[in-house]
Structure 1
């Protein structure tokens, strides 16, 4: 009984337009946006809702959700972030498997100018992404279908733009280098949110210069820090949110290998559910900028004679 009431409420909260159905998590913010662009959290929520429809065998009403979700995919079949891609592909797969008839066989013909291509979708390849590269951009693209079942057709168009638009930073990320020597240094990073309110879950990725490793225990206890890990030459920190007040972290780094003439390393702060909301800065320990091979490795060939 309660699940039925919840399902009815879920349906009432959906947004419907042009035969497509989805859910907005932050309705007020989305209504204020000047451009039509879905947020990862909306894609994630809609994917979970599609799974709900599938679990109740509501494939007819779920068709509009499938259309909207499919329209959010990029040209490679994924979505915006890792999580919304994983959940959305699972939801679409469950829908396709549950909705396809036993005698599923659809033949598609695409006509683009002088080019005519044919694609067949059946039970053997229904879950496989098939793609066609056109030799030129036609003035008109015609798609016709025959058979039993349904197929999703997407068109991807690539072009260059002169400007990326508003490049204002969402986060302010600053760095301070302490105890800077050729064999070690302490890096302090501070980040705060520049827009209204706090961010959602954030991920800070700190590159560690080649030849060094970070001591994660030196970070101490930081409010809002959920996880801290080190892998592939970088430290990754997961925060519940980043607000107007700076969130700071110290990392002590020590030399593990002989590497000279290190290049600048980079730090990025990204809103997990809005990957476009990100800021990248660089840092470069002063001692490493000026270090020579012989300063780092006095015993190396050709160095002993110079001392």
Structure 2
């Protein structure tokens, strides 16, 4: 739940628990539901995220105040060409992740009365689909769960008959020297749109067919050249989402100023060439003093594996702060309850399992679980030891 934003108030967490109870089938007149509802109604916040949680909770409970809370939320909405959304401001930053969550809860609250709020919900759906990343999710695990639940609820409540859409993507190279030739090719390609996919040199004509049989399938096609001019045309009946994804590498990602990070790689005492030690320390340095749950992610140098007993000891020494660890291949992740200005350190040994030549340095990344844009990373290597390959 958004890192339990609103830590100074019990209302966001209370509303979240109320939602969980009602979604799990608790009766609206159960004592615990009535008590938590009273707590939620007593809150006078102007925070869109909290109001959206309240609106959805009250909608699930069938409470008569649900409409008034939803109208309060709509008064705070921003509407532009992308649709309808809310700017969720935290103390020192604007949260993209919480904006997606807020929109998701707003959609689900509106679906308690879809006839009345259909147009507003459609605007929010339009906006939220523009925030998807290239893998189908959003900014974090939590906002992705809420957004997908909201989109599923919208689809369930606004079914308008069978889906039958054909989307045709036509592309041709944008190189200056080929403009005249490709203009002719483009005109010719228009005559070939009855085919499923027609590639030419640097060009493409491709049809996406979306119907009741294929609507749950992700369909994709790669453009044969870049930069390129792309034209999209659609015909038929129904609603579908089309997304263009461009991926590229950057030499060094821009670090966030939310965390500090220090990493040391060292050799084991003596002449043990196969044993190394990694120590990573991080702290939260923004003025509000506390992070959400965060992750220290250690990517090991090729050929090494962690010593499991050391990982267990890291958690055992500081269980209130370091909640657990995970090992996924050559990646070790430590989940931190929250960072403060006081450094949190993890240190463990690794063993060389396989000899690998010309290895690259390892990396350590610290990021906010609910705000992945808050991330900092650095590389590490081990000092040279004579006689060790």
TM-score (norm 1): 0.72
Structure 1 window deviating more from structure 2 (229-238 vs 253-262): it is: 253-262
Residue aligning to 2:85: 22
- Asked whether 1:70 is paired with 2:159, we answer no
* Residue 268 of structure 1: how far off its partner (Å): 1.2
* Residue 126 of structure 1: how far off its partner (Å): 2.5
8 Å contact from structure 1 (residues 177, 285) kept in 2: yes
The count of aligned residue pairs is: 283
Q: 1:69 to 1:291 in 2, by over 3 A?
A: farther
* Residue 191 of structure 1: how far off its partner (Å): 0.6
* Residue 62 of structure 1: how far off its partner (Å): 0.8
Residue aligning to 1:151: 240
**Local SS of the residue matching 1:226:** strand
Q: Distance in 1 between matches of 2:242 and 2:267?
A: 58
Q: Distance in 2 between matches of 1:21 and 1:225?
A: 39
Cα distance per residue 1:5-34 (max 9 Å; x no partner): 333333333322226112233267567xxx
- Asked whether 1:12 is paired with 2:75, we answer yes
Where structure 1 has 5 or more consecutive residues not aligned to the other structure, the ranges are 32-37, 294-307
* Residue 208 of structure 1: how far off its partner (Å): 4.8
Q: 1:255 to 1:168 in 2, by over 3 A?
A: closer
**Local SS of the residue matching 1:68:** helix
8 Å contact from structure 1 (residues 54, 98) kept in 2: yes
Q: Select 2:262's aligned residue among 168, 174, 189.
A: 174
Residue aligning to 1:59: 118
Which structure features the higher share of strand residues?
Answer: 1
* Residue 66 of structure 1: how far off its partner (Å): 0.8
- Root-mean-square deviation (CA, aligned residues, Å) is 3.8
Please list, as runs of the form range in 1=range in 2, the aligned pairs for 1:1-307 lying within 5 A after superposition: 1-18=64-81, 20-26=83-89, 39-57=96-114, 58-110=117-169, 113-114=186-187, 115-116=189-190, 117-135=206-224, 141=231, 143-147=233-237, 149-156=238-245, 158=246, 166-167=254-255, 170-176=258-264, 180-181=268-269, 182=272, 184=275, 187-197=278-288, 198-208=290-300, 210-214=304-308, 215-219=310-314, 220-221=317-318, 224-251=321-348, 253=349, 255=351, 257=353, 263=359, 264-286=361-383, 289-290=385-386, 292=388
Q: 1:291 to 1:78 in 2, by over 3 A?
A: farther
Structure 1 window deviating more from structure 2 (253-262 vs 210-219): it is: 253-262
Which structure features the higher share of helix residues?
Answer: 2
8 Å contact from structure 1 (residues 211, 258) kept in 2: no
TM-score (norm 2): 0.59
**Local SS of the residue matching 1:203:** strand
Residue aligning to 2:4: none
Q: Distance in 2 between matches of 1:281 and 1:164?
A: 10
Where structure 2 has 5 or more consecutive residues not aligned to the other structure, the ranges are 1-63, 172-185, 191-205
* Residue 72 of structure 1: how far off its partner (Å): 1.2
**Local SS of the residue matching 1:292:** coil
Q: Distance in 1 between matches of 2:257 and 2:375?
A: 7
